[in-house]
């Protein structure tokens, strides 16, 4: 109870820096940790790799694995970069678009993200979800 009484709340706190990935990587849903649910005797959870049509950079503000999985299932070649990524880091990947992921907490203190996104939207089609759309 005491901890709850002295808690300062979420406003102005950057939780993203604690949940973002540490370095860029290409998202691969077939990694051992990402095995889908399956049910014996059915095709439920079967992985069918669609043709990759577009390369997208997902800026990881706390991205949910299922969102990345869905992007891949719809034909995106997904590259994940940390929330601290620079526009130049994204340019090196040469994506067809940029995805702004969801994330925890208050987006107000994420000035580094605002600066990066402001530059990227001039260069790439950009879309997002949750905090990525604020």
pLDDT of residue 134: 45
Strand order in the sheet with 25-26: 25-26, 76-82, 54-60, 97-100, 126-128
Higher pLDDT, 34 or 15: 15
Question: For residue 89, is pLDDT > 70?
Answer: yes
Question: For residue 79, is pLDDT > 90?
Answer: yes
List the single range of 1-5, 74-78, 99-103 with lowest mean pLDDT.
Answer: 1-5
Distance CA 94, CA 24 (A): 13
List the single range of 41-45, 66-70, 121-125 with lowest mean pLDDT.
Answer: 41-45
Exposed e or buried b for every residue in 22-43, given b needs 16+ CB within 10 A? eebeebebeeeeeeeeeeeeee
The pairing of beta strand 97-100 with beta strand 54-60: parallel
Which residues, 6+ apart, have CB-to-CB distance to 109 below 8 Å? 12, 13, 14
Question: For residue 17, is pLDDT > 90?
Answer: yes
Question: For residue 113, is pLDDT > 90?
Answer: yes
Distance CA 9, CA 77 (A): 37
* pLDDT band (50, 70, 90) for residue 6: confident
Q: Following DSSP, what letter does each residue of 6-21 receive, concatenated?
A: H---STT---HHHHS-
Tell me the mean pLDDT in the region 67-75. 89
Exposed e or buried b for every residue in 95-111, given b needs 16+ CB within 10 A? beebbbbbbbbbbeebe
Tell me: the pLDDT tens digits for 25-65? 999 866 544 455 666 777 666 666 667 789 999 999 999 98
Q: What is the mean pLDDT of the chain?
A: 86
């Amino acid at each position: 109870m005491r901890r709850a009484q002295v808690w300062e709340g979420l406003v102005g706190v950057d939780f993203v820096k604690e949940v973002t990935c540490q370095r860029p990587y290409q998202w691969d849903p077939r990694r051992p940790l990402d095995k889908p649910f399956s049910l014996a005797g059915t095709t439920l959870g079967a992985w069918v790799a669609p043709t990759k049509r577009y390369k997208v950079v997902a800026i990881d503000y706390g991205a949910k694995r299922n969102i990345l999985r869905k992007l891949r299932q719809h034909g995106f070649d997904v590259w994940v970069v940390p929330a601290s990524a620079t526009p130049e880091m994204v340019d090196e990947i040469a994506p067809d678009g940029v995805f702004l992921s969801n994330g925890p907490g208050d987006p107000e203190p994420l000035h580094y993200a605002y600066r990066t996104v402001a530059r990227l939207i001039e260069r790439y089609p950009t879309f997002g979800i949750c905090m990525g759309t604020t």
